Structure 1
Amino acid sequence: MIALGGSIGTGLFVASGSAISTAGPGGALVAYIGIGIMVYFLMTSLGEMATYIPVSGSFATYATRFVDPALGFALGWNYWFNWAITLAVDVSTTGIVMHFWLPHVPGWIFSAFFLVVIFIINALSVRSFGETEYWLSIIKVATVIVFLIVGFLTIFGIMGGAPIGFKNFTTGKAPFVGGIPAILSVFVVAGFSFQGTELIGITAGESATPEKSIPKAIKQVFWRILLFYILAIFVIAAILPYTSKDLLGSGATDVAISPFTLVFRRVGLASAASVINAVILTSVISAANSGMYASTRMLWAMSKQGIAPKAMGRTNGHGVPVPALLVTTVIGLFTFLTGIFGPRIYLFLVSASGLTGFIAWLGIAISHYRFRRAFVAQGHQLSELKYHAKLFPFGPVLAMVLGVLVIIGQDLNSVKHLDWQALGVSYMSVPLFIILYSYYKIRHKTKVIPLDKVDLTKIHQD
């Protein structure tokens, strides 16, 4: 439920409008399907490692043990930054969604309020986080199902008057707008949308029977998310033309409306649109809640591994890592930049978060590739593995190739026009990762671990 809650949120309910506006309906679908395939292989890779060595803060631990301690250090801090920025994006989105009802109230006021609420939920106890996430996720999934039903009824004319059909897939330059560069840029938005599926790795060490629960969770969560995203994007693209001035990223001044809300307005359900907007708000809060949890847990886990300050490992009487929670909340304050510089900063934050997520995914693919090779090199039999990743080595290799391709080409428009501000924000995760990796490698003089020296022993956590 944690993975489901962290994955279905801002990327679907708000940023999907930007994807359709940028690359057209066909380009958006190609990007989401491509990322879906990539994530499938990543989740099976993670499942193989997490069932063999279940541990909290798994990405940093796996990279440290299977590749290079410097890579583990850089990946851990990168992943914390990823979810901390995602928290800022989600909190910013609360202000955008509230604009539907109160267009004249500054969005930062709502963002501040919800940031405080999310902080309190996570500060009380792990149970308060879990209970909140459970109910918010139920609302979220039910909303997507209702939206899909209404959407298809609208497309075929059962609701909302005359059938819309699929004419919007050929409107203007549709279905593909902007060519390959546009699709590559949407890959980042899609990546941001699918981020959260790997949360299973963060919680692996807390599972009583990881060999059973992790494979089951990976299979169920991924297919649900893929089904929801692909069908939802399809419905939105069929009902709303990519030229709609209301889609986020289209360049219009009124960008504060979710594509879900626009669809309900389009079919004449004005009151339902208001209800859906309220549900979207709870969904975004859910995603932010998961982001806060993931980032604080990663910071706590890194402290235990000695790659973050010891203070980050301190917990209160309820087991909550309060120092890590406070530091993460400070990053969440980036949300107020959107109130100063406008909606363009919101899209920049989405891009920055998406890129850090791809770096984390690259780390999973590289770690798994090395894990499997070391496993065989040290004389182990594949039958010893309780869960087998699909199509090895094709899966992790494909994930690595796609990851590098998207990271390089994620903002080609800014490269072409030398928009240094856009380049700085969109690509800032790359130099940050390189600096972290180089710092640790130079200071501790680490090297890539030979396959026969890779530590494949089990980990027993306190």
Structure 2
Amino acid sequence: MTTQQSLQREGGAAGEPGTPQPSDGLKAGLKNRHLSMIAIGGVIGAGLFVGSSGGIAKAGPAILVSYLLVGAMVVFVMRMLGEMAAASPNSGSFSAYADRALGRWAGFSIGWLYWFFWVVVLAVEATAGAVILEGWIPAVPQWAWALIVMVVLTATNLASVSSYGEFEFWFAGIKVVAIGAFVVIGLLAVFGFLPGSDNPGAGLAHLTDAGGFMPNGAGAILTGVLMVVFSFMGSEIVTLAAGESEDPRRAVTKATNSVIWRIAVFYLGSIFVVLTLLPWNDESIVKKGSYVAALDSIGIPHAGQIMNVIVLTAVLSCLNSGLYTASRMAFSLGERGDAPRVFAKANAKGVPTAAILASVAFGFAAVYFNYAFKDTVFDFLLSSSGAVALFVWLVICFTQLRMRGILLREVPEKLTVKMWLFPYLTWATAAMITFVLAYMVYDKDNREVVLLSTLVAAVVVAVGVVLDRTRKARLRA
């Protein structure tokens, strides 16, 4: 394939690599403020609010090290992805880059696996939101609430990309303000500066006063890693959305450069506040949830309902972004001939209608399975998509190792963002991810997830390889 052909294939004009072609149907409907908030809110999923208590119970204060390790891994992966996305913005992001750097089969495989991950997430998030809404209005059954939130956010995505951006701007904004306020108020209470607080203001004492910093041993840190790694999924969404923004390179560069402080404040900062407000083994952390327990310890009234509102916002944000992300990946696969061509068609507003409807159709089916066949079909879907996040990050590592050379040869001036200590840190990150996957196989609670995910991945890769060879044989003939 010539340089010109390869540039055109990844969505850029031959004369200006990385510039989306008007003919691709998508429009630059996302404003810089949309991209900024998507970047900030992308690392804050509902898993942070509802999943952190389990990690604290397993690892104690040492869960901070777990979050630090996974956070570092995400920072490195985002830096690699930012390098490629800033040089060549593309609606298919890492799938399109893998297609070019590793082969057609790689782009096909990781694209479909990523799509599969997000359409299953649609069902998980819709159900989580429905549980909260049913608690507020019991007259409406849970399945009906799940249907309502799916329909509303589908309509939003079908309206225009700017509608998605506007909804996500406000959803993410609420999450950011809520966590920022939690960190500030919590730290004031920790050090005894919050007027009227019920918390004794123990400072940093709770980090060591209940069995030490690592009460369950150093091995619990690795168990904690497995429990928190999935709450970071979503940070890469901004690189897909950048292709529909006013200034893709600026948006990607800004998001990549800010990922460190975002993880430090929102993840490490908020968990640090929880662990300093309460002893890690306080029963209320597991019973009420870590954030509700922390707010209760300060004496904030109606803490549970406040957190329900915030969690619902996080759920709707994740569902909104999940549908957007799945549809854009389907669109990119359709453009490259790895999905039905109809997926690559966009209407006059730049909305890939078929890709959205196909994605939400599978999402609706997954919601149905969650209610009708929860312990069989849906459990399989959930488990078989569970490790896809790690597979995606691993593929990004290997893709960046190859793409650096391609970009240096063809468009060196576009390398405005560079991976640190290349290639050593890239290889170290790949080794970290591989180690986490191996440890998941060793850990009995995660073994099924990684084995089923690997099985599904192997099937998709096999299909990708067969299709790639069939195309090549047809071309030779």
TM-score range, shorter chain: 0.7 to 0.9
Q: Which residue of 1 aligns with 2:29?
A: none
Kindly indicate whether the alpha-carbon contact (under 8 Å) linking 1:24 and 1:176 is maintained by their aligned counterparts in 2: yes
Which residue in the other structure is 2:427 paired with? 397
Q: Is the 8 A contact 1:70 1:446 kept in 2?
A: no
In the alignment, which residue of structure 1 is the partner of 2:397?
365
CA distance in 2, matches of 1:168, 1:350: 36
Q: Does 1:84 align with 2:119?
A: yes
1:7 aligns with 2:38: no
**Would you say the 8 A contact 2:201–2:277 is kept in 1?**
no
Counterpart amino acid of 1:444?
Answer: D
Deviation, 1:346, is 10
Query: d(CA) in 2 for partners of 1:84 and 1:45?
Result: 25
Amino acid at match of 1:32: Y
Equivalent of 1:309, from 340, 358, 372? 340
CA contact (8 A) 2:92 2:329 kept: yes
Q: In structure 2, what is the Cα distance between the partners aligned to 1:320 and 1:118?
A: 14
* Matched letter for residue 262 of structure 1: A
Are residue 298 (structure 1) and residue 336 (structure 2) matched?
A: no
Give how far 1:96 is off. Answer: 4.5
Contact 2:40–2:255, Cα closer than 8 Å, also in 1? no
The one of 55, 70, 73 equivalent to 2:108 is 73
Q: Once structures 1 and 2 are overlaid, which stretch shifts more, 312-321 or 121-130?
A: 312-321
Provide the aligned length of Structure 1 versus Structure 2. Answer: 431
Matched, 1:274 2:305: yes
Question: The residue matched to 1:202 in structure 2 has which SS?
Answer: helix
Distance in 2, Cα, partners of 1:226 & 1:398: 21
Aligned AA (2:47): G
Tell me the CA shift for residue 87 of structure 1: 2.5
C-alpha distance 99-161 of structure 1, shift in aligned 2 (>3 A) = farther
Could you tell me which residue of structure 2 aligns to residue 459 of structure 1? none
Moved more, 176-185 or 273-282: 176-185
Aligned match of 1:152 in 154, 179, 187? 187
Q: Contact between 1:31 and 1:186, CA under 8 Å: does it hold in 2?
A: yes
Task: Give 1:194's aligned amino acid.
Answer: F
Q: Give the corresponding residue for 1:18.
A: 54
Distance 1:25 1:84, change over 3 A: farther
Letter in 2 for 1:80: W
1:263-309 deviations in Å (ceiling 9; x for gaps): 22232222354234213312221122111111111111111111112
TM-score, normalised on structure 1? Answer: 0.82
Q: Does 1:356 align with 2:380?
A: no
1:234 aligns with 2:234: no
Matched residue of 2:181: which SS?
helix
CA distance in 2, matches of 1:227, 1:24: 20
More off after superposition, 89-98 vs 366-375: 89-98
Q: How does 1:56-455 map to 2 (within 5 A)?
A: 56-98=91-133, 101=136, 107-157=142-192, 158=194, 159-170=197-208, 175-176=213-214, 178-179=216-217, 182-245=220-283, 247=285, 257-333=288-364, 334-335=366-367, 355-375=387-407, 385-410=415-440, 412-414=442-444, 423-445=447-469
The amino acid across from 2:165 in the alignment is: G
Contact 2:42 2:238 in 1 (8 A): no
Alpha-carbon separation, structure 1, partners of 2:218 and 2:135:
34
TM-score normalised over the length of structure 2: 0.80
Q: Which ranges of structure 2 fall in alignment gaps of 5 or more residues?
A: 1-36, 472-477
Whole-angstrom distance in 1 between the partners of 2:79 and 2:415: 13
Could you tell me which amino acid in structure 2 is paired with residue 176 of structure 1?
A: M
Percent identity of paired positions between Structure 1 and Structure 2: 33
**Bigger mean CA offset, 216-225 vs 66-75:** 216-225
Structure 1 SS opposite 2:387: helix
Amino acid at match of 1:86: V
Aligned 8 A contact 2:190 2:203 in 1:
yes
2:85 aligned with 1:50: yes
Most deviating of 340-349 and 179-188? 340-349
Question: Is the contact between residue 303 and residue 309 of structure 1 (CA under 8 Å) also seen in structure 2?
Answer: yes
- The 1:365–1:170 alpha-carbon spacing in structure 2 relative to 1, beyond 3 Å, is same
Contact 1:83–1:294 (Cα < 8 Å) also in 2: yes
Question: 1:117-170: CA deviations, max 9, x gaps?
Answer: 222221222121111111122111110111112212232333224224444434
Relative distance call for 1:246 and 1:332 in structure 2 (3 A) is farther
**For 2:50 and 2:229, how far apart are their aligned partners in 1?**
14
The CA deviation at 1:179 is 4.6
How far apart, in 1, do the equivalents of 2:378 and 2:187 lie?
Answer: 30
Q: Which residue is 2:3 aligned to? A: none
Is the CA contact (8 Å cut-off) linking 1:181 and 1:409 kept in structure 2?
Answer: no
> Alpha-carbon deviation of 1:412?
3.4
Inter-partner Cα distance in structure 1 for 2:48 and 2:314: 10
The question of whether the paired residues in 2 share the 8 Å contact of 1:69 and 1:446 is answered with no
Change (3 A) 1:341 1:17: farther
Matched-pair contact (CA < 8 Å) for 1:185–1:411 = no
- Whether the aligned pair in 2 keeps the contact of 1:192 and 1:353 (CA below 8 Å) is no
Shift of 1:172: 5.0
Counterpart residue type for residue 72 of structure 1: G
Deviation at 1:106, TM superposition (A): 6.2
The residue number in structure 2 matching 1:453 is none
- CA distance 1:413–1:45, change in 2 (3 Å): closer
Residue 29 of structure 1 pairs with residue 64 of structure 2: yes
Relative contact order, higher structure (CA 8 A, sep 6+): 1
Q: Secondary structure at the match of 1:308?
A: coil
For residues 402 and 370 of structure 1, what CA distance do their matches in structure 2 show?
19
